[in-house]
Amino acid sequence: MRATHRLLGAAAAVALAATTAATATPASAAAPAALREVMFVGNNWEGTADVIKSSGDFAKLGRINVVPDKNQRLTEIYLNPIKLIYFLGIRNGPGEGHDQLVDDLYSTPDGTALVASRPSFADVVSIDIATGKLKWRFPVSGYRADHMAVSPDGTRLAVSASTSNTVHVLDITTGAQLGSFATGDKPHENVFTNGGRYIWNMSIGNVETDLDSPLLDWTKGDRHITVVDTTTFQTVKTIDMRSRLNAFGRSDLSNAVRPGVFTPDFGKLYFQVSFFNGVVEYDVATDKVTRVKTLPKNPATSDDRTSYVNDSRHHGLSISPDGGKLCVAGTMDDYTTIVDRATLQEGTLVPAAKPYWATVSGDGRACVISESAADQVTAIDFATGQKITSVGVGDHPQRVRLAHVPAGWGG
**CA–CA dist 319, 191 (Å, integer):** 14
d(CA 207, CA 210): 8
355 backbone dihedrals φ, ψ, rounded to 5°: -65, 130
Number of CB atoms found within 10 A of residue 303's CB: 6
Concatenate the DSSP letters of all residues of 305-340 into one string: GGGSGGG-SS--EEE-TTS-EEEEEETTTTEEEEEE
112, 114, 1: which is closest to 49 by C-alpha?
114
- Local confidence pLDDT in tens for the 411 residues of the chain: 333 333 334 333 333 333 333 333 333 345 567 999 999 999 999 999 999 999 999 999 999 999 999 999 999 999 999 999 999 999 998 999 999 999 999 999 999 999 999 999 999 999 999 999 999 999 999 999 999 999 999 999 999 999 999 999 999 999 999 999 999 999 999 999 999 999 999 999 999 889 889 999 999 999 999 999 999 999 999 999 999 999 999 999 999 999 999 999 999 999 999 999 999 999 999 999 999 999 999 999 999 999 998 999 999 999 999 999 999 999 999 999 999 999 999 999 999 999 999 999 999 999 999 999 999 999 999 999 999 999 999 999 999 999 999 998 987
One DSSP character per residue, 248-302 reads: HT-TTS---EEEEEE-TTS-EEEEEETT-SEEEEEETTTTEEEEEEEPPPPTTS-
pTM: 0.90
CATH code given to domain 33-406: 2.130.10.10
CB 269 within 8 A of CB 284: yes
CB 152 within 8 A of CB 192: yes
Buried b (16+ CB within 10 A) or exposed e, 246-266: eebebeebbbbbbbbbbbeeb
